[in-house]
Amino acid sequence: MMLLAPHDVPPATPPPLALRHCSSRQLYFAMLGERGSSAGRIDELTASASRAFLADKLRDAAAIDAGFPTEARSLNSVLHADHDQTAQAYRRYLDERQAGAPRRYFSCRAHAMYFLRAVAPTKLVDGAWLFGLLPRWQDPRLAPLIRIYLEELGCGAAAQNHVLLYKQLLARYGCDQWQDGPDQHFTQGAVQLALAHNASEFLPELIGFNLGYEQLPLHLPITAYELNELDIDPYYFSLHLTIDNASTGHARMALQSVLDCMPRIGDAAEFHRRVGIGYQLNGVGMGTHQAIASFDLEQELQRVIVDKAAVGAQLHSDYCRVGGRPLSDWLSSPDEIAGLLTALQSAGWIRRGQSPEQSRFWCLLTDEQAPMFGVFDGYEQQLLSDWIQAGAPSPPAALPTNRFRRRPAGGQAYAPATVLQGGATVEQIVAHHAGAKPKSGGCAELDALFEQLAEVDTKAQAFAVLEGRLSPANHPTPAGLAATRLYADLFSR
């Protein structure tokens, strides 16, 4: 079912030549480049490129059949039926696993860690599309969506901020080198940022995108289950099973916002059609299944060694020889890497099908006094470990880690000493939050924020100061977290 023909997408003003043909990755980082700006806004050149990019992706979304109903009155029943089907499919998955079926998604621990890196550009802008609604905080129809955004930001509690949670997950397992990934890893994240910065023009599409994003996909519980099985903390993923629930959570709020925003006077059918395109926009770019399917253990290991060779090819002396050739010679060309791995096996430096500790090459990387200690990060070590063990009688073992906690620590939580009464003035609320900020390890950005807030008298003035601090780039910072706490407090009053 095609809801929107390509010619129906509003024409985009061509961006400047410098950004006209930029990649998803380039645009992604350009839209995050406003960090440090208290306004949280992108420059005009990036704004023009983001609009053109979004219009192009909406045309792609028009060709996707996501089963979106043609009538708004069918939304509730269709979405509930989809939820029930997902729940039943997950039950079948669990039954299959209990009966001895292998993991459906991740062939090994390195595969799961590869996935964490591949989806990082999307997860690290979690909820970003809703940022563009903050200027419309007085519209009661949009209040549930702004509340969703505040909850994605943990309402200012570092331990519940989704972006910080994912950053901690990546860092914990040595997966935080994701910035140079292929362009397809950045498309969906760039879509979400483009919606954030073009919210006023594409409001129906934004509302529809949010509706689709908050539904329960089958891959979410399966991912959490298999990460846990591989000794990788699944909390970030299991959190979304609860907070997005269709009964009282974000999925329910997203549906209600569609119904509330449906025009009573005007073209309701056109609004619904555009909501449907936004819903289908979730299918643009690389999804979970594509990210999982793109992993190849051998090719990924070769890619990592090619990257290492670009830095260290000339740092090995001629005494370092494999198969009669200097190691620097092997590392001089990407085409030589597959042969190097074969030569390392022939020389006995790598013993495939055995535990990594039986391979001298592994010890060169991991022993504390070894010449290559620290060259491979946690993900890269796991990749090599799983590759060495491939074909062993027993499944590859996980590298030692500290057993995860269900709620990872996220820094100092917000815990004001007292609770203000409902009739408190804006000035009193601001002063209350200023008094609750950390006293040690002063933060100039945080101090500057409360200096600005000391001049405000109304909620509108406070929101004008706070809004930019809640942007996708700024909200995970200390000042951003403090601004989110204050914004959430004022918004609830």
- How many angstroms separate the Cα of 275 from the Cα of each of 32, 79, 117, 280, 441? 26, 14, 31, 9, 46
Of the ranges 91-105, 385-399, 408-422, 423-437, which is most confident? 91-105
- Determine the Cα–Cα distance for residues 136 and 325; give it in Å rounded to an integer: 67
The β-bridge partners of 325 are 322
Confidence of residue 372 (pLDDT cuts 50, 70, 90): confident
- Whether 273 has a pLDDT exceeding 90, the answer reads yes
When pLDDT is averaged across residues 434-458 and rounded to a whole number, the result is 86
- Give the residue, 33 or 300, on which the prediction is more confident: 300
Question: Per-residue pLDDT for 284 more than 90?
Answer: yes
Confidence of residue 351 (pLDDT cuts 50, 70, 90): very high
- Is the pLDDT at 451 greater than 50, yes or no? yes
- Which pLDDT belongs to residue 133? 97
Tens of pLDDT, residues 153-184:
999 999 999 999 999 999 999 999 999 999 99
Residues 6+ apart with CB under 8 A from 388: 350, 351, 352, 353, 354, 355, 356, 359, 362
Determine the average pLDDT of the residues in 270-290.
96
| Interior angle at CA 140, CA 138 and CA 141, nearest 5 | 125
For residue 12, give the DSSP letter.
P
Decide: 178 and 120 in contact? Cβ < 8 Å: yes
| Range in 69-73, 110-114, 371-375, 426-430 the model is least confident about | 371-375
- Residue 145 — very low, low, confident or very high, per pLDDT cuts 50/70/90? very high
pLDDT at 312 over 70: no
Answer yes or no: is pLDDT of 417 > 60.
Answer: no
Average pLDDT over residues 145-149: 97
Tokens of residue 405, six digits:
């906690």
Q: What is the pLDDT of residue 415?
A: 42
Give the burial string for 10-45 (b: 16+ CB within 10 Å, else e). eebeebeeebeebebbbbbbbbbebeeebebebeee
- Per-residue exposure over 121-149, b if at least 16 CB sit within 10 Å of its own CB, e if not: bbbbbbbbbbbbbbeebeeeebbbbbbbb
pLDDT at 36 over 70: no
Lowest-confidence pick of 66-75, 103-112, 288-297, 326-335: 326-335
Do the Cβ atoms of 171 and 421 come closer than 8 Å?
Answer: no
- Its pTM stands at 0.89
Tokens (6 digits) for 150 = 């505040």
Contact present, 58 and 277 (Cβ < 8 Å): yes
What pLDDT, on a 0 to 100 scale, did the predictor assign at position 405?
52
User: Taking a C-beta distance cutoff of 8 angstroms, is the pair 113, 175 a contact?
Assistant: yes
User: Does the pLDDT value for residue 41 go beyond 70?
Assistant: yes
pLDDT given at position 437? 79
- The two structure tokens encoding residue 50: 């983001």
* DSSP-based three-state secondary structure for 219: helix
The whole-number average pLDDT for the span 369-384 is: 87
In order of 88, 274, 484, the CA distances from 441 in angstroms are 51, 48, 20
Mean pLDDT for the stretch of residues 33-37:
62
Provide the 10 A C-beta neighbour count for residue 419.
7
CA 450 distance to own-chain centroid: 30
pLDDT of residue 299: 96
Cβ neighbors of 3 (< 8 A, separation 6 or more) are 62, 68, 70, 273, 276, 277, 280
pLDDT of residue 127: 97
In angstroms, the CA 488 to CA 490 distance is: 6
Helix (H) or strand (E) holding 325: strand 325-326
C-alpha distances out from residue 226 to 104, 219, 300, 407, 409, Å: 8, 10, 21, 18, 23
Q: How far apart, in Å, do the first and last CA atoms of the chain sit?
A: 43
Amino acid at 400: P
Q: What is the mean pLDDT of residues 280-284?
A: 96
Asked if the model's pLDDT at residue 400 lies above 70, the reply is no
